[in-house]
Copies of this chain bind each other. A is one copy, B any other.
Amino acid sequence: MLTHNVYFEGQVQSIGFERNGRSATVGVIAPGEFRFGTGGAERMTITSGALHVRLEGGDAWQFYAGGTSFEVPGKSAFFVRAEAPCAYLCEFL
């Protein structure tokens, strides 16, 4: 029922679950910069730490503090940069 997802040789890891027919993950991003592609649209909420985010094709890095969220369109990609481990909730919309 729960899944363990490993990306970038373990530098990003998450636990996947489903509730009310919707998929979500909670995970941690180690310090570094990583690129994620999306299938469907996603909402990312920072639950601990902070994250810099840039949508692919965009110039601007945005800063998201703990407690804030951002949404990413489906069939797109985004870059994240963490200066310290950052925990998140990712909801597939």
Contacts and interface: CB of A to CB of B under 8 A. Distances in A.
Interface stretch (A20-28, A33-41, A57-65, A72-80): A20-28
Contact of A89 (B17, B48, B84, B85): B48
Copies of this chain in the oligomer? 2
Contacts of A68: none
B89 A24 contact: no
Q: How large is the interface on A (under 10, 10 to 19, 20 to 34, 35 or more residues)?
A: 20 to 34
B17 A14 contact: no
Interface string A3-17: 010100011111111
Given A2-B12, A2-B85, 10 more contacts: A2-B28, A4-B13, A13-B15, A15-B26, A15-B27, A15-B28, A26-B26, A26-B27, A26-B47, A26-B87
